[in-house]
A and B are shown apart, each in its own frame.
Chain A
Amino acid sequence: MTPVSVLTGFLGSGKTTLLAALLLRPEFANTAVVMNEFGEVGLDHHLIEAGGEDMIALSTGCICCAARGDLLRAVTDLVARRAAGRIAFERIVVETTGMADPAPIVQSLMLDPALAETVSLGRVVATVDALAGAETLDDRLEARRQAVFADRLVVTKGDLAGAGAAEALARRLRRLNPAAEVVIGANGDVDPAALTPAADASQAQRWTALLEEIARAARHGHDHAHHHAEDGVVSVLLRREAPVHAAALPLFLEALAETYGPKLLRLKGLAAIREAPDRPAVLHGVRHVVHPPQWLDAWPDADRATRLVLIGEDIDPDWPGLLLDLLDEEAGLAAD
């Protein structure tokens, strides 16, 4: 499987600088890049120093809106050219525009049955500028959406803003998105492993990264309130000690989709299932598109509670847990 990672971040936050620097690193050799050429002037295109034939620039507008079909065609085209032996690559990075909402982009990649045979989701990485990022997060919902949606957050321009400002922004980002790993970079000097899974990473290794995210969110939930809001964008940790009936799980996902619609941006976590107490189910979804639950062979640690991270807008911190309790009670009565 070829991992497809999505690089997002607000206008001027340093996405292309980061990508250009990473593409020069040996770890990023054999990377194909799909980027957005917004409007007539493909400025970003000319800033990339590497990539050559493996780069495709989209020119029909923002890939999160009108040109999602173009994105899929671009990725499909890359895969087809590789299959024909014309190019070689081991991973794909999609760079979005600064205003893009990454959710529909990732959703498109998740849903395409033709691509499912050859590509898997990599990571969603968002850049946040240490100089102007705090102000942008205050003013722009697009920037907050990008930050809460990401698996990894890179604080850029740390060298220009100074360590204090970069650390303060990193702390804010950790509160906003407790599941994400936050790294501080300067001039694109970021560990490549933080941004995309190794091309040869096994499924187990990829699960490990996801489990670390959940553990990070759970630790944060212990240390602080389990809910952080910035103008309606929230990260909610749902923790439940008792295992749930298997039948309650799909009903829970349906009820979340019914209630929150596009306001639910991401869901990821581990669920303890009554019928399979030794094998936790891993849940991962973007908006209302969810991967079929994956079953781990064993619990990763001694904690056997259900731990779900919900990221979205206007999510009441107590509501999802109550909903799961109600559905589990109903499923239990039906089973008795």
Chain B
Amino acid sequence: MTEADMRVFLEGLLHAWAVDGAVEVRPLEDGMLGRIDRTGRAAIRVTRRRLPFGIAWEVGPEDGRRRAHPSVQGAIRSLGALLAPERTRGRVVFAASAPP
């Protein structure tokens, strides 16, 4: 994942959840840091690090508690809870009927 990818990733989430915010991304020694700035609200910090045991995501307000996730899927859930808690989420359900 490049820094440009991280920007597309975070901006795509803001677009999907209709959240206004500006995204900045900068490199870290072992990964990258994304920062989502929202007017009048605490910025959100997202890091993605490549560690010896795999990928680690960390999501949280810049001035508050952060959550760690081993997968992008968990990072999306955390970001959704912070940025758009009222959004309608979906959970995959497998169909009973035969496919078309």
Contact = CB atoms under 8 A, between A and B. Distances in A.
Interface of A: 1, 3, 109-113, 115-116, 119-123, 151, 197, 203, 206, 209-210, 250-251, 253-264, 282, 284-285, 287-292, 294, 314-316, 318-319, 322-323, 325-327, 329-330, 333-334
Interface in B58-77: 70-73, 76-77
Given A255-B73, A259-B13, A334-B54, A111 B96 contact: yes
25 contacts: A3-B100, A111-B97, A121-B98, A197-B100, A255-B76, A257-B89, A258-B89, A260-B16, A262-B90, A287-B90, A288-B93, A290-B92, A290-B93, A291-B94, A291-B97, A291-B98, A314-B15, A316-B11, A316-B15, A322-B8, A327-B73, A329-B1, A330-B54, A330-B70, A330-B71
Contact of A326 (B9, B13, B87, B88): B9
B28 interface: no
Contacts of A256: 90
Given A290-B94, A314-B15, 18 more contacts: A115-B96, A120-B97, A121-B97, A209-B100, A210-B100, A250-B92, A254-B73, A255-B72, A255-B73, A257-B92, A258-B91, A284-B99, A288-B91, A291-B97, A316-B11, A316-B15, A319-B9, A330-B72
Could you tell me the dominant secondary structure of chain A's interface residues?
helix
Q: Top 5 A-B pairs ranked by shortest CB distance?
A: A288-B90, A319-B12, A257-B90, A120-B98, A116-B96
B22 interface: no
A116 B92 contact: no
A19 B16 CA distance: 37
A261 B100 contact: no
Interface of B: 1, 5, 8-9, 11-13, 15-18, 54-55, 70-73, 76-77, 80, 87-100
A183 B23 CA distance: 44
Contact of A329 (B55, B88, B96): B55
Which of B18, B71, B91, B100 has the most chain A CB atoms inside 10 A of its CB? B100
Contacts of B54: 330, 333-334
A315 B98 contact: no
Given A257-B92, A262-B90, A329-B55, A251 B73 contact: yes
Contacts of B77: 258
Nearest to B50: A333
B72 A314 contact: no
Contacts of B96: 110-113, 115-116
Nearest to B54: A333
Contacts of B11: 316
